[in-house]
Amino acid sequence: MTGFSPFSPPPFAPPHSDAPHDWVDRLLLAGPGGEECLHLGAPLDRDALRTLVEEQSVRLTAAGLGPGGTAALRLPPSVAFVAVLLACWRLGAQVALLDHRLTDHEIDAAVARLAPQVLVGSAHRPAAALRGFSDVEPVAVRLPDGQPARTGHALIQLSSGSTGPAKVIARTAADLLRELDCYRRLVAFPGEGERVVLLSSVVHVLGLVGGLLNALYVRAALTVPERMTAAGILAAVADSDRPTTVIGVPFHAELLAGAVAPPALPRLRRMIVAGELVRPGLPALFTERYGVPLGTMYGMTETGVIATDLDGTLHPAKRPVHGMRLLLVKGELQLGAVSSPYPGLDDPTRWSDGWLHTRDAAELDADNGLVTVLGRLDSQVSIGGLKVDLTEVEQTLTALPEVREAVVVFDCGAIEAYLATEPDADLALVRDGLARRLAAYKRPRRLALLPRLPRTATGKLLRDPAALRDTASAGTAGAATTH
C-alpha cells in the first residue's frame, strides 16, 4: 500500500472545515485556570497548559507552519507532546503522529511517505524504556520537500502494524469530537472531577482520544506514571483521592493482575483495556485482585471506540456506542462510515458504499444489539478441509496454567504457536492440556517457546509470521522449539 496519491494539492486546504474553528480553545483548553489537567512528574494546571500551547504556536509559526500546513510529531509522551499537538491544531495544521520508539530508518520512511512540511522532534534523548514520560524540549525543523495538506483532515495516524505494514489513516476534527461525545455518554467512563491513569501510547487512538483528549474535554485530571512497572503504576493510582480509572492494553492488565501484594486502592473505580482480545480468566483474576471491574472496549484507529463493556458484565459481548452503525456481512463486521479513512487509497475491500470493512469476525445479537468480536477474519483457516479458528486455539493455550501469553498463526499450510510460559513450565503439560481441549486437527504442528513474545510499539502482540519466526530463530536465551 502506498500513502497519499500523487495529485497536485490545492493551494489551500480548508483546515478542519467540518469543525468549529476554535474547537481546541473552546473544547479542549477551556476551564478554570488553576484546575489541574495533567500530571507528568508534576501537576500542570490549565493556565500553564494554555501558556505552553501559545508558546509552541509562536515557534511553529516561525518554522513556517500555518493553516493548511502539515506537521509530523516525533515526541515521547511528555507535556511538550501535548502542547505541540494542540498548537498545531490551533494553527489549522494537519498533524501526523509518529511513535518516538521507531528507528531513524523507519522515521525517514514515514516522512518520505507523508511529506510533512515541519518535523517536530526532541532536542534531548527520550527517557529509558520503562519510563512513562520524558522531559523534552521540542525542536521544529522545516523540511524542504514537505507538502501542504491535501485534505481537511486534522489527524494522520499509522496503524499498529501488528499483522503487517502499517496503514495511513486520516481522521477529521469532527470525527474526533464525535468520538469524544461517545465517551461523554458512557456513564462509567471518566468524567469531570475524576482522574485517569494512562498507560496507553498517546500516538495511538486509545491513549490519544480515550485518554488525553477525553480528559481535557471532560476536565478530568490525567496522570502518566513515572515508571511503567506494576509498582510504578500502582503508586500512580494510589497518589490521589480522586476516583481513578486506569486505561491501557491487556498487557498492562496482565502486569497488574500478577502484582504481588498490591496496596489497597480505595479510589480505583475500574481498569479499561482495548487493543486486542483479553485472555479467558483475566477479567475475573483482575477483579479478584483489586475488587473492581476490568472493562473492555473494541475499536479501530479508523473510527476510535466502537463498542464497550466497561463493567465487565457482558463479556465477551460489548454494547455499540452512541450512533455506531454495525452490519454483519458473511461473518465480517462492517461499520457505517460516510467516507473512506484512507486518503489516496481506492480499495473496495477496505471501504465501499458507506461501509468500513473491519476484517474482524463477529456475531451480532439481533435482539439486544450486542456485538461479540471473535478475532481477525483471516484467523479462520482450513486444515484438511476442516475449519479452524486460530483465536480459539490461542485462547485455549492462554487458559492453560503453564502459558502466560500465546500467538497462533497459520503459515506454510500449518498452524504454529509461539508461547511465553511460566518459569520451568513443563511442555508435556501444555501438550496434554491441548490434547484434552482441542481436536487433533486444531492443535499447532509447531510450538515455539520464548522468554517473552515480541510486541509492537503500542504493546500489541506481533502477529506477522515472518517476524515471529525470526524472533524464534534468533537464538534468544531460553528459547526452544518443538514439533
pLDDT, average across residues 138-147: 96
For position 230, what pLDDT does the model report?
A: 96
The answer on pLDDT for 111 being more than 80 is yes
- pLDDT, one tens digit per residue, over 339-374 is 999 987 788 989 999 999 999 999 999 999 999 998
For position 129, what pLDDT does the model report?
A: 67
Q: How far apart are CA 188 and CA 207, in angstroms?
A: 17
Q: Which residues contact 48 (CB under 8 A, 6 or more apart)?
A: none
Q: How far apart are CA 116 and CA 96, in angstroms?
A: 8
Do the two domains 1-171 and 384-482 of this chain adopt the same fold? no
- pLDDT, one tens digit per residue, over 303-318 is 999 999 999 999 899 9
pLDDT, average across residues 124-137: 80
- Percentage of the chain beyond pLDDT 70 is 91
- pLDDT, one tens digit per residue, over 83-100 is 999 999 999 999 999 988
Using alpha carbons, select from 249, 224, 247, 213 the residue that is nearest to residue 95. 213
pLDDT, average across residues 187-216: 96
pLDDT confidence tier of residue 263, bands split at 50, 70 and 90: very high
For position 476, what pLDDT does the model report?
A: 47
User: How buried is residue 478: exposed, middle or buried, by Cβ count under 10 Å (0-12/13-18/19+)?
Assistant: exposed
Lowest mean pLDDT among 34-48, 216-230, 321-335, 463-477: 463-477
For position 460, what pLDDT does the model report?
A: 77
- Percentage of the chain beyond pLDDT 90 is 65
Q: How far apart are CA 467 and CA 473, in angstroms?
A: 10
pLDDT, average across residues 278-287: 90
Look at 128 and 85; give whichever has higher pLDDT.
85
Helix (H) or strand (E) segment spanning residue 421: strand 414-421
The answer on pLDDT for 119 being more than 70 is yes
The answer on pLDDT for 17 being more than 70 is no
Which amino acid, one-letter code, is at 353?
A: D
For position 126, what pLDDT does the model report?
A: 64
Helix (H) or strand (E) segment spanning residue 294: strand 294-300
8-12, 51-55, 350-354, 417-421, range with greatest mean pLDDT = 51-55
Cα dist from 334 to 116, 169, 175, 322, 355, whole Å: 32, 17, 18, 16, 6
The answer on pLDDT for 477 being more than 80 is no
In contact, 81 and 127? CB cutoff 8 Å: no
The answer on pLDDT for 412 being more than 60 is yes
For the chain, the domains span 1-171, 384-482
pLDDT confidence tier of residue 11, bands split at 50, 70 and 90: very low
Please give the model's pTM, rounded to 2 decimal places.
0.82
The answer on pLDDT for 160 being more than 80 is no
Using alpha carbons, select from 4, 1, 2 the residue that is nearest to residue 344. 4
Q: How far is CA 430 from the centre of its chain?
A: 31
For position 162, what pLDDT does the model report?
A: 44
Per residue, the 3-state secondary structure of 182-217, as one string, reads HHHHCCCCCCCCCEEEECCCCCCHHHHHHHHHHHHH
pLDDT confidence tier of residue 30, bands split at 50, 70 and 90: very high
C-alpha cell at 35: 484546575
Domain 1-171 has CATH 3.90.1150.10: no
For position 389, what pLDDT does the model report?
A: 83
Listed in sequence order, the DSSP H helices in 73-136 are 79-90, 104-114
Q: How far apart are CA 330 and CA 71, in angstroms?
A: 40
Using alpha carbons, select from 211, 192, 149 the residue that is nearest to residue 17. 149
For domain 384-482, give the fold.
GMP Synthetase; Chain A, domain 3 (3.30.300)
**Number of neighbours of residue 11 by Cβ within 10 angstroms:** 7
pLDDT, average across residues 375-386: 76
Q: How far apart are CA 101 and CA 394, in angstroms?
A: 28
**Number of neighbours of residue 383 by Cβ within 10 angstroms:** 17
